[in-house]
Structure 1
Amino acid sequence: MVTVRDTSMVPPPGAMPEVIDQVALARLYGEPLFALPTDLYIPPDALEVFLEAFEGPLDLLLYLIRKQNFNILDIPMAGLTRQYLVYVEEIRSRNLELAAEYLLMAAMLIEIKSRMLLPQRKQEGADEAEDPRAALVRRLLEYEQMKMAAARLSALPQQGRDFLCAQVFIEQSLQPRFPDVQLTDLQEAWQDILKRARLVQHHKITREELSVREHMGHVLKALQGRRFVEFESLFDPSRGSTVLVVTFIALLELAKETLIEITQAEAFSPIYVRLAYKPA
């Protein structure tokens, strides 16, 4: 007896069935995927799983102590150091720069453990020797207080994170309010006006007609009937500098024309002026 099978309805080996059942691993572009591809390359750093995130060595130590229900005042250093080193080795293989401060704390833990194994020495004036773990316990307690305070502050409602401030803009006409002017403000404004006025003021220079010949006659008239006249007495400062200059020029003209004589007894002595002597 020969059995004939219709191979047209049997899918070839490795072909995907048309019906999607519950054994499909995933869907790729809408098609069922029953086996992982063998030629798929995934970089080593593409997938990383971070179980816990710590802010520093003290945060990690506090986490290990609270997780194992250790008494923070009586820390079992052996178990704590062992668990701490496991975590440090994990982050050391991934990020050496991040592990630097954790390695420093690991060295401190090992030092504390070694000091606990040695005979303790009493300090002068103390009844009992200081516990090597005392400094670490104080740091952990202070850090826990600060962490709890930060958590309480973070739990408070914050603007922009938990709520937004409602802002309403109302347009309305307001009566303008002019500033009050004090007496000192008016005085300062007036002083500024005077300063600007002095900067832009105009000075008009007028031409004064003065005659040298006329002043020569005045000098001759002053010397008439007098033997000697002091040089300074011939000038009148009250009439201005221009009259003084013209008078001096008149004296020079009279001396040039030998109508007067200017004499001096000795050096630095007073200067005298008199009419020139002409023999008859």
Structure 2
Amino acid sequence: MSSVPQDAPEHCPGTNSEDAGKASACAGCPNQQVCASGATKAPDPDLGAVKERLDTIKYKILVLSGKGGVGKSTVSAMLARALALDETKEVGILDIDICGPSQPRVLGAEEEKVHSSGAGWSPVYISENLAVMSIGFLLNSADDAVIWRGPKKNGMIKQFLRDVDWDSLDYLVVDTPPGTSDEHLSIVQYLSASPPVAAVIVTTPQEVALLDVRKEITFCRKVNIPIIGIIENMTTFVCPKCKTETAIFPATTGGGTQLAAESGLPLLGQLPLDPRIARACDHGQNFLTEEPDAPATLGYKEIAKKIIEYCQSLS
């Protein structure tokens, strides 16, 4: 993560800065003491190898929320599937939720194992142009718990970025855990070495979710990660039979629409809560092709289109 100019003190100064842990922007950060101690200031000897690997990936898209339970992993998988509908594009999903990896199950690859070669780890291919990497493939059992402290989780994330042989990708979708701490700082530090990288923020309509999502927006701005826009998930429940829509999570403070307006960010889309999506994810099926006319399918395709347009605007 590079330092920012001193005329922008509201941003995180970066772990390699002399002001790390000391600037006004560091107040209240859970990593302030570590940064101030100088423990993170030595250059990472693997940064060059990580950058070399990431340079083969055209666009890196972080899926963030700050809040658990908003459907972030489902959104990550569905967006990757939507991007992969264009068979001329190569798409990857990196699952860095070390303690709660769900992408192997969601994508129907739970029984797969990762193979290694001289080129590194080979990701698991869901289709010809969609690959995934997750710690879930490295566990002996899906019931195994990963009981690691921050440094070991960070080391695993670095290993994923350095050692996974994606070949060349058009899009890498990164499914992140809730929060704004160790894993997020690590992934941002490494991805920032090989731009462009941008974030998509996922929320649900109720204020209890928006409280944490606002923190995630602040995090992105402090570490200089551009935000493509906000996705409001589970906006309404759509009955698969009668098509009646019901607001399960009332938007008492305006939901994602108001959050987008407050933050000056685009609202990429509002996705319905459809029980068929949960069923498809439990069975590793592609909802977008199973239910091509469903409102959620149309919503994901429209969001993917906006993400593609954003990425193309960077070229």
Q: TM-score normalised to the size of structure 2?
A: 0.17
Computing the radius of gyration from Cα coordinates, the structure with the larger value is 1
Q: TM-score normalised to the size of structure 1?
A: 0.18
The structure richer in helix per residue is: 1
Q: Which has the higher contact order (CA 8 A, sep 6+)?
A: 2
